[in-house]
Amino acid sequence: MSELLIEEKNIVIPGEEIAKGMDFLPSTGTFREGESIFSKNLGLLEVRKHVIKVIPLKGNYMPKGGDDVVGIVRDIGFSTWSIDIGCPYHINLTVSDAVKEYVDLSKADISKYFDIGDIISVKVTNVTKSKMISLTMKSYGARKLEGGRLLKISYSKVPRLIGKKGSMIGMIKEKTNCRIHVGQNGYIWINGPAEGQSLVERAVDMIEAQAHTSGLTDRVKEMLEGVKND
């Protein structure tokens, strides 16, 4: 007999028993011990049929293959850039992964492609067991993000910032006239009019604080419209 002990959308704490029996499958944020499934993180419980998932409410980003992220160029080497994507590991982006044309390294200065402080949109191709991380710019949407500035949000709140089928981010873009690019690591690039940028910042802060509550899109919309009319 399998049974679910806690209802969906409840807050669970590490080590809390979520379900008994082998009919349920543990997904991210959970683990199985004996016949039961327990939570690994402090987070929101999500149940899809028989797959159990816990979405952490906080925590540092851990990269995985296939993620589209936003990064900052921190240093330039002979043939690589070192990129900060908000994870604990050192990441290099090589010239061959970044530039389409042939680059003669004996003559070229690669800072003409990306310089220190530049913000780029990039894809994580692979993460090995020993956490060697490779990035590529040869992917749809991967490019240098010109101008603008960077905001940060907890990576686990990115789905909330985007919303169902992009409803939240679309609404924010429309109300603030800003261009926004969200990476799965929680780095957000924004560019646009100054008033719009400060509005985006307020909206992001609001989502960071209230990501676990329902009806958030409406409240953010209200806030953005309220400020505009003042």
By rule CB under 8 A, what count of residues binds other proteins?
31
* Among 11, 25, 76, 142, contact with other proteins (rule: CB under 8 A): 11
* Among 26, 43, 63, 186, contact with other proteins (rule: CB under 8 A): 43
59 binds other proteins (CB under 8 A): yes
C-alpha distance from residue 179 to each of 36, 116, 200 (Å): 46, 22, 10
209 binds other proteins (CB under 8 A): yes
Smallest distance from other proteins to CB 210, Å: 6
* Among 97, 113, 156, 207, contact with other proteins (rule: CB under 8 A): 156
Chain positions 113 to 142 lying near other proteins, rule: CB under 8 A, are: 129-131
Smallest distance from other proteins to CB 214, Å: 8
Q: Are 121 and 41 in contact (CB under 8 A)?
A: no
77 binds other proteins (CB under 8 A): no
Interacting span for other proteins (CB under 8 A) from 36-44, 104-112, 134-142, 163-171: 36-44
β strands within 128-165, DSSP E: 133-136, 143-145, 149-152
* Among 15, 21, 77, 166, contact with other proteins (rule: CB under 8 A): 15
Interacting span for other proteins (CB under 8 A) from 11-19, 104-112, 118-126, 145-153: 11-19
Assigned token pair, 126: 């692979």
For 87, other C-beta atoms within 10 Å of its C-beta total: 19
* Among 47, 57, 108, 150, contact with other proteins (rule: CB under 8 A): 57
Could you give the angle at which helices 167-176 and 194-210 cross, rounded to 10 degrees? 150
Assigned token pair, 230: 């003042």
Q: Please name the residues in contact with 158: beta carbons below 8 A apart, sequence gap of 6 or more.
A: 182, 183, 184, 186
226 binds other proteins (CB under 8 A): no
Interacting span for other proteins (CB under 8 A) from 34-42, 118-126, 134-142, 193-201: 34-42
- Report the phi/psi class of residue 141: left, alpha or beta, with left for phi > 0 and alpha for psi in -120 to 50: left
Q: Are 99 and 128 in contact (CB under 8 A)?
A: no
Interacting span for other proteins (CB under 8 A) from 35-43, 97-105, 119-127, 162-170: 35-43
20 SS3 class: strand
38 binds other proteins (CB under 8 A): yes
Place of tokens 């690589």: 80
Rounded to 5, what percent of the chain is helix, strand, coil?
25, 35, 40
Instruction: Note the residues at the interface with other proteins (CB under 8 A).
Output: 11, 13-17, 29, 31, 38, 40-43, 56-60, 62, 88-90, 129-131, 156, 209-210, 212-214
